[in-house]
Amino acid sequence: MDHFQQLIGQPQSVTLLKQIIIKNHIAPAYLFSGPIGVGRKLAAECFCKSLFSHSKVLQESQLTFEQRIVNGNHPDLYWIEPTYQHQKKLFTVKQAREYGLKRNSPPQIRVDQIRNIANFLSHLPLESIRSIVIIEEAELMTEAASNGLLKTLEEAKLATLILISSNPSLLLPTLVSRCQIIPFYNLSEHSLKEVLSKLNYENIINEEEIIKLSQGSPGKAISYWDKLQLIPSELKNTLKQIPLGDLNSLELSNKINMELDNSTQLFLIDYLQYFYWEKFRNRNLLELLELAKYQLLNYLNSRLVWDLLLMKISNVL
């Protein structure tokens, strides 16, 4: 069975991963490197399915076996995501959203999570010839976590670690040097639309702004579409009218700050960059928006950021 058939638009990575399993040349560590939302996590799932299915005779249906991997319930698979800490408990981004936890700092992969890897690997694999550990957004490891992972990697025997990262330059060079790199790329527009169709997002396919903004990333296209629905049409239409005027700018800034969370505000910056460039071709506007994006990413007061941005935009044209 071809477990990689659902991974669209990544022929190089699929070929590499298939050959690794066919030739049984499984490395101690891999770095799945490339843009967000182009299939790196799916590739890790496919790799697990393919490797584990070759290991032992399955005692269950193929569907149940694959579902256990997707749900993280396979005994030889350990999956780590960045977390927030709240009242001495760790919450993934999804869990924090479900519990309504609002954080002012980005999530991290913490040293305790890395210590748990060592505990997991202290036991021999139960159903497979190797255990697999997958770390999403590995660039978000704290320094202590990175050093701990390096030590764990040196001691791992019947295990393979997969680091998923969109920014490998933030990883320890000594950690990267121990990984075999599997590159991932932005998809063509045709492949992007094919993925969206298979995921039942046909409604996005004809949204030109979203397709262009996503730059070949199905994950971004879906995320951007969801965020676009959170922005009131009146607010979006007003922002498209330039100049705004100082009074209108301040009122608009207050509305953005009150109605949109940080991640949606960041999307709005990207959306305006695309729209303003298509309409005005003005680099000064892009630079103002890029500065505002940097400020929001560094958690400056969002009301002040939008006050200054919208007043400056009004004076640029």
pLDDT value at position 120?
93
pLDDT value at position 67?
81
Give residue for tokens 């019947």: 158
pLDDT value at position 56?
55
pLDDT value at position 72?
78
pLDDT value at position 247?
65
- Residue 73 and residue 191: Cα distance in Å, rounded? 31
Question: Reduced to 3 states, what is the DSSP secondary structure of residue 205?
Answer: helix
pLDDT value at position 170?
94
How much of the chain is helix, strand and coil, in % rounded to 5? Answer: 55, 10, 30
pLDDT value at position 93?
83
Note the helical H segments in 122-261.
Answer: 143-155, 173-176, 189-198, 202-205, 208-214, 218-228, 233-239, 246-259
Give residue for tokens 């990984």: 179
pLDDT by position in tens, the chain (length 317): 788 999 999 999 999 999 999 998 999 999 999 999 999 999 999 999 999 887 655 555 666 777 888 887 889 999 999 998 888 889 888 888 888 876 667 789 999 999 999 999 988 898 888 999 999 999 999 999 999 999 888 887 889 999 999 999 999 999 999 999 999 999 999 999 999 999 999 999 999 999 999 999 999 999 999 999 999 998 988 888 876 666 678 889 999 999 998 889 999 999 999 999 999 999 999 999 999 999 998 878 999 999 999 988 877 76
Beta bridge partners of 108: 83
